[in-house]
Amino acid sequence: MASLRKSARKPSRKPALPETIATRDLARLLGVTPRWLQQLRKDGVLASSARGRWPLLECVHAYIAAAQKSAAAETDTNAQRARLLKEQADRTHMENATTRGELIEVGEVEQKLQAALVDLVQFLDSLGSRVAGTFPSGYAAQAKALIDDEVSKAREDLAEQWSDLADPEVVAGGP
């Protein structure tokens, strides 16, 4: 038993960290130059306790926090750069598609649809008179009134469905 006690190791005490550290040693620990440490002090990232001495733990923690903040800012900058590049690529893609005639301007489509709706409304307006002429004379007025009533309902439906594109007065039968 006595031999066991002698061979049993005492728990090793870890050496205590010094409260302060020299500029050269802190620079080596952080992997930077002493000049960079001075710049970090000037920028308010690190604080020195006395000429050429730095509070070790405070400086290590502050340096890690600054590095994390810098990495986060760089990640954000990279994300913004990626979004910008995607937007530029999309714009170029659309310009090329327009040049090839694969895309047309929304305004051009709206003008064509507006003109088509005006033509449709004019056709619908003449429908009652044209069809009524094919009925025997005793029924022509009645047929025209019935057709005109249905055309009026159709125009109201069109005006409601196309209100964001067409002039509602033109489609609904206004002036």
Smallest CA-to-CA distance from 164 within 91, 110, 88, 92 is with 110
From CA 81, how far away is CA 59, in angstroms rounded?
32
Return the pLDDT at 29: 93
Provide the residue-wise pLDDT of the chain in tens; the chain has 175 residues.
555 555 556 666 777 888 899 999 999 999 999 999 999 999 999 988 788 899 999 999 999 998 888 888 888 888 888 898 999 999 999 889 888 888 888 888 888 888 888 888 888 888 888 888 888 888 888 888 888 898 888 888 877 877 766 565 655 555 4
3-state SS of 7-58 is HCCCCCCCCCCCCEEEHHHHHHHHCCCHHHHHHHHHCCCCCCCECCEEEHHH
- Annotated domain spans of the chain: 20-95, 106-172
Return the pLDDT at 61: 93
Tokens of 150: 């249905």
Q: Residue 54: beta bridge partners?
A: 21
Is 121 in contact with 114 (CB distance < 8 Å)? no
